[in-house]
């Protein structure tokens, strides 16, 4: 398969890039073709697709010229253009997103989604749930970033959150730990769209676990979040010959060295600013144990697993994924973050107990070899990729199937033969959808229930025409209303009977054979599925089974913001639906259909009642509100307004729903 990996950096920079570059290498070794999309930088690895990389923007420090590039943080038009060129030139099977915040922006996601490409995102930090990337566990933490930087990050986060750009376009999120998954779910991400897959470590077989030397290690970036100052303070309170090696560099390096000096620990603490990966592994392999005193919630803790592979136990703060990957008294010890006393006790315990260190190290190494190997990760990531590609193929098959059935329906004259094709279409498509989309096709049953109960009393008879699985009928009856369901698909009616335990309230067959009369008939997202040459006849049949003052509730998507069936995944805004939405309406067309079918009065809403529900307002239909909506809709006959509709699909849908909702009531 051909996989497009996207990250804002494509050179060794941080933990995200360590994982990304290792994953690319792993995939290539196993016969997969990998392309990249990122920013241009002289340190980038050599990868196919680099000719489409964007110009680099440096945000680590303030540069005056970046003032003119602030908009790119929110929405990058250059990223959108470049990614479109790449996917138009290359046949990509799947897109794997990593960190795209700021430098690339999520502007690329709708482009990839509209192209029908499956998209998976590995969540490397907490930017999706917190504007500052990190989740601090210490109270009253003050950010080191300037007020302007914090304000920009908050605005960016709020904007992307408000439009749900990640949730709407990404098919699956990969969380490296249960902790990350739980944080995403708390923030409103759907649990069924998140899978936990830990990172992996590639072991250098030449590195052997040598005889212990009398030191322990702490390695990683030296910044405030890592809590290394607390480690130095705890170590200064211990009487031992053991030494501490601190490996890494960062903004706190000078301050930490000064702290060691002030505590008279220069002879017991060695600072190693940088060493190669193999040299680092050798230092860890000869140590007593490793310490990770983080003050922020870790998404995974790669250093912990690297230590495990080298047979070393760890001491870590009780934060984030450390609580999952460090098994207390088996692979290491945990302490409360910033608790100097607990950390001191943990250090003494491991320094003074070689047998405990040995047993913990052996258990840790065994755990790492079972859970965190490249082989294990490759097997699972390929499984994820294949499942997403298969699902994407099913959606395309769904699209082709709907187009095929739509043509058959329209080419067959009204009557039993057409009805048979319609029933087959819905039976086959529902079966296909259930195979690739958990829960099948989701409706607006709760919302429609609230609209419906505002129009009837509990003594009124209600018919849900096109009831599908019968969810609305079940909701109404469980609340004391007198509701029945009808559907052209006998298979769907059988499913409704079995699922809802209300067999006597569901029916199929010929509408003309129905003897009962109803005070309200609901057509929720149904009228667009009726063939145009049968529209009038169907509306007349429904009128015949209404009581004298009975009403027909019609809810349908507005064609200005369509297509809304499966065509909407593949066609541009404003296109004609090519699937089983045989005709999508604007408001005027819908009203005309009602009047031509002899309904005496047609009413509408001032605002979409689905929106009114959110404000706890029970909306009532009025003829005046319908006239106002029709007048507003007429403005869109002018080209200038039509062009506005094409600016943004999500914005257009919201605008149409507020201005002229296609939810009407027609009275017999």
| Location of structure tokens 């998507």 | 557
- For residue 85, give both structure tokens: 């060129």
Sheet containing 663-667: which strands, arranged edge to edge? 506-507, 482-486, 461-465, 518-524, 546-555, 663-667, 601-603
Own/partner long-range contacts of 58-64 (Cβ < 8 Å, ≥24 apart): 59/102, 59/103, 62/146
pLDDT at 440: 45
Own/partner long-range contacts of 132-138 (Cβ < 8 Å, ≥24 apart): 134/225, 134/296, 134/297, 135/183, 135/296, 135/297, 135/320, 136/225, 136/295, 136/296, 136/297, 137/295, 137/296, 137/297, 137/317, 137/319, 137/337, 138/295, 138/337, 138/338
Residue 374: φ, ψ to 5°: -60, -40
R_g over Cα of the chain: 31
pLDDT at 439: 45
Residue 112: φ, ψ to 5°: -65, -40
pLDDT at 93: 94
- Residues in Cβ contact with 508 at an 8 Å cutoff, skipping those fewer than 6 apart: 486, 487, 488, 489, 490, 493
pLDDT at 65: 54
pLDDT at 457: 95
pLDDT tens-digit readout, 408-437: 999 999 998 998 899 889 888 877 776 655
Residue 647's CB: how many other CB atoms inside 10 A? 10
Name the pTM for this structure.
0.73
pLDDT at 332: 97
Sign of CA dihedral 641, 645, 651, 655: positive
Residue 485's CB: how many other CB atoms inside 10 A? 30
Three-class SS string for 94-131? EEEECCCCCCCCCCHHHHHHHCCCCEEEECCCCCCCCC
* Cβ atoms of 488 and 419 closer than 8 Å: yes
pLDDT at 106: 93
Q: Is 329 left (phi over 0), alpha (psi -120 to 50) or beta?
A: left
Q: How far apart are CA 464 and CA 458, in angstroms?
A: 15
pLDDT averaged per 10 residues, the chain (length 668): 96 91 95 96 95 83 55 85 94 96 92 90 94 82 69 83 89 97 95 95 71 93 93 96 95 95 95 89 95 95 94 96 96 96 97 96 95 95 94 85 94 92 87 61 75 94 93 94 92 86 88 92 95 95 95 94 87 88 95 95 90 81 93 84 72 81 94
In the chain, DSSP finds a helix count (H) and a strand count (E) of 25, 19
Q: How far apart are CA 136 and CA 303, in angstroms?
A: 19
């Amino acid at each position: 398969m051909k996989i497009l990996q996207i990250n804002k950096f494509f050179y060794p920079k941080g933990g995200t890039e360590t994982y990304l570059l290792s994953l690319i290498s792993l995939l290539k070794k196993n016969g997969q073709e990998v392309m990249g999309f990122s920013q241009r930088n002289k340190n980038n690895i050599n990868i196919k697709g680099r000719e489409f990389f964007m110009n680099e923007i440096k945000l680590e420090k303030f540069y005056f010229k970046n003032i003119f590039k602030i908009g790119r943080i929110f929405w990058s038009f250059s990223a959108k253009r470049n990614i479109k060129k790449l996917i138009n030139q290359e046949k990509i099977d799947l897109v794997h997103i990593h960190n795209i915040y700021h430098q690339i922006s999520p502007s690329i996601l709708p482009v990839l989604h509209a192209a029908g490409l499956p998209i998976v995102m590995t969540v490397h930090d907490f930017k999706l749930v917190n504007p500052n990337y990190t989740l601090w566990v210490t109270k009253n933490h003050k950010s080191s970033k300037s007020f302007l930087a914090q304000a920009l990050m908050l605005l960016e986060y709020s904007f992307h959150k408000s439009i749900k750009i990640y949730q709407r376009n990404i098919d699956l999120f990969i969380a490296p730990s249960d902790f990350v998954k739980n944080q995403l779910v708390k923030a409103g991400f759907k649990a069924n769209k998140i899978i936990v897959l830990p990172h992996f470590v590639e072991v250098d077989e030449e590195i052997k676990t040598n005889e212990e030397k009398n030191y322990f290690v702490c390695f990683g970036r030296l910044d405030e979040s890592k809590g290394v100052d607390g480690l130095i303070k705890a170590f200064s309170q211990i009487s031992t010959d053991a030494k501490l090696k601190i490996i890494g560099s960062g903004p706190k390096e000078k301050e930490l060295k000064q702290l060691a000096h002030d505590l008279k620990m220069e002879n017991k603490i060695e600072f190693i600013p940088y060493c190669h990966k193999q040299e680092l592994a050798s230092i860890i392999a000869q140590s007593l144990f490793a310490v990770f005193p983080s003050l922020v919630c870790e998404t995974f803790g790669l250093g912990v697993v690297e230590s495990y592979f080298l047979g070393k136990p760890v001491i870590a703060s009780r934060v984030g994924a450390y609580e999952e990957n460090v098994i207390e008294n088996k692979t290491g010890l945990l302490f409360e973050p910033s608790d100097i006393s607990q950390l001191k006790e943990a250090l003494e315990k491991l320094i003074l107990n070689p047998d405990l260190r040995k047993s913990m190290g052996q258990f840790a190494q065994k755990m790492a070899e079972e859970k965190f190997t490249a082989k294990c990760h490759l097997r699972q990531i390929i499984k994820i990729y294949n499942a997403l590609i298969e699902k994407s193929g099913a959606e395309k098959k769904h699209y082709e199937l709907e187009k095929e059935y739509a043509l058959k329906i329209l080419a067959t004259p009204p009557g039993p033969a057409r009805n048979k094709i319609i029933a087959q279409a819905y039976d086959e498509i529902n079966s296909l959808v259930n195979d690739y989309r958990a829960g099948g096709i989701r409706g607006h049953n709760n919302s429609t229930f609230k609209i419906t109960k505002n129009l009837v009393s509990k003594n009124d008879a209600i018919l849900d025409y096109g009831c599908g699985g019968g969810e609305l009928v079940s909701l109404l009856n469980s609340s004391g209303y007198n509701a029945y369901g009808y559907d052209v698909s006998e298979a769907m009616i059988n499913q409704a009977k079995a699922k809802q335990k209300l067999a006597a309230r569901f029916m199929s067959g010929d509408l003309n054979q129905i003897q009962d009369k109803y005070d309200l008939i609901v057509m929720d997202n149904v009228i667009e599925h009726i063939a145009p040459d049968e529209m009038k006849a169907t509306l007349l049949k429904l009128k015949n089974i209404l009581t004298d003052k009975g009403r027909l509730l019609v809810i349908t998507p507005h064609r200005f913001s369509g297509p809304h069936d499966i065509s909407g995944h593949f066609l541009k805004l404003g296109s004609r639906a090519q699937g089983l939405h045989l005709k999508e309406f604007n408001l005027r067309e819908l009203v005309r259909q009602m009047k031509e079918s002899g309904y005496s009065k047609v009413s509408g809403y001032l605002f979409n009642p689905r929106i009114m529900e959110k404000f706890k307002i029970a909306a009532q239909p009025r003829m005046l509100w319908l006239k106002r909506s029709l007048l507003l809709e007429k403005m869109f006959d002018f080209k200038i307004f039509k062009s506005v509709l094409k600016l943004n699909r999500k914005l257009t849908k919201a605008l149409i729903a507020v201005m002229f909702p296609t939810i009407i009531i027609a009275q017999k």
